[in-house]
Amino acid sequence: MTAEGLMAFSIAWEYALGSRIGATMQNSAGRKKLKCKHCEGKGLVKQGDKKVKCQRCGGTGYKS
């Protein structure tokens, strides 16, 4: 392999690794999702004898 080919390969390799590392860091950079305390993270709340979707979190179980 020539010096030019080796340089091009190393630049491409760094770019591939950098884009992969950047994607994982970006996904975990946000705040951790907190469970809704109203429905205890289940998304459903008891109303009498029925179970209805939690209105605080919209049924997701996570605090919005």
Encoded tokens for 19? 């884009």
Q: Which residue has the tokens 């690794």?
A: 17
* Per-residue pLDDT tens over the stretch 21-49: 555 555 556 678 899 999 999 999 999 99
Report the number of distinct structural domains present in the chain.
Answer: 2
Tens of pLDDT, residue by residue over 52-62, are 999 999 999 99
Do 14 and 41 share a domain, yes or no?
A: no
The per-residue pLDDT for 51 is: 94
Task: DSSP for 24-59, please give it.
Answer: HHHHHHSPPPPBPTTTTTSSEEEETTEEEE-TTTTT
Residue 58 lies in domain: 32-64
Asked if residue 16 has pLDDT above 70, the reply is: no
In terms of Cα–Cα distance, which of 39, 32, 35, 37 is closest to 62?
35
pTM: 0.47
Which CATH number belongs to the domain containing residue 60 in this structure? 2.10.230.10
